[in-house]
Amino acid sequence: MPLRRRSLAAGMAGLFGALSTGRAAAATAPPMRLDQLTLVNLSHVNDPATTNIFPGDPAFTLETVATIPEDGFYMQFVREAEATGTHWGAPGHFEAGGLLADQMDPGDLFLPAVKIDVRAKVANNPDYAVTIADIKAWEQRYGRIPNQSMVVLWTGWESRWGTPAFPNLDANGVLHQPGFAIPAVRWLIDTGRIGRRGGTGTDTFSPDVGTEETFTVSKLVYQRHRISLEILANLKALPATGAWVLAGGPIHRNGSGSTATIFGVIPPGVRAD
């Protein structure tokens, strides 16, 4: 079986295996129908009228180049950076010599997910950095984060999408957005929670706090096979634990990642808080 198929099969097996409590239970449980999975769209619609662009990135444009009356079909020409709107980043986005989009396995893009709700802490502090203590408090309620997970921050920033409040620039052009504290990401890596294949997700531009201009968190995340999911939407529908995420989008040659439709894959019986 080709490597990519083996990787995807392994990811699916992990999802289905998580639904049973042991080998005996798996042997007696009826096979799960794929139509019992719930899919949640975690992506914003890319629209030049509303899509916020990271400062310095190329402009995003859509141009109609064919119409049904004139050409018999409809098509647009899309011009955008690979990190426009909701997207995932490959290790090579921040790590010299790191894996690029066309070198990733399907299993790298299909990961167990946890969602940490930090909206209350962010509400009065747009520069809030999520701490190890915050993550441990989450684990006291929901249990240990599985190894090689996608750890998603729900900051509430998605409600600002399409407005100047999303980049939240100050008079000096500095971003003010919440993110992970550097020690928190080191801890997630060192303890295996986002081990060799895992990552971080957020509804902001980046896992870094906006004022952190060295992108230290990103540089830590983007190693090995780890990815980053950014500018996520509809996080209310993603359960705190028990779901998986699947990152799609075009795979460009030597791509730093991809604009993406990212799905939350929710097994039967798992509910959002």
Specify which residues 71 forms β-bridges with: none
Per-residue model confidence (pLDDT) at position 271: 83
| Residues 138-186: tens digit of each pLDDT | 999 999 999 999 999 999 999 999 999 999 999 999 999 999 999 999 9
Domain boundaries, the chain: 31-53+82-266
Q: Is 77 helix (H, G, I), strand (E, B) or coil?
A: strand
Name the band, by pLDDT with cuts 50, 70 and 90, for residue 23. Answer: very low
Residue 93 dihedral angles phi and psi, to the nearest 5°: -65, -30
* Least confident range of 28-32, 59-63, 190-194: 28-32
CATH topology of domain 31-53+82-266: Glucose Oxidase; domain 1 (3.50.30)
Closest C-alpha among 270, 182, 252 to residue 220: 182
Per-residue model confidence (pLDDT) at position 28: 63
The set of residues, in sequence order, having a beta carbon less than 8 Å from that of 222 and lying 6+ positions away, is 89, 90, 91, 92, 93, 94, 95, 98, 228
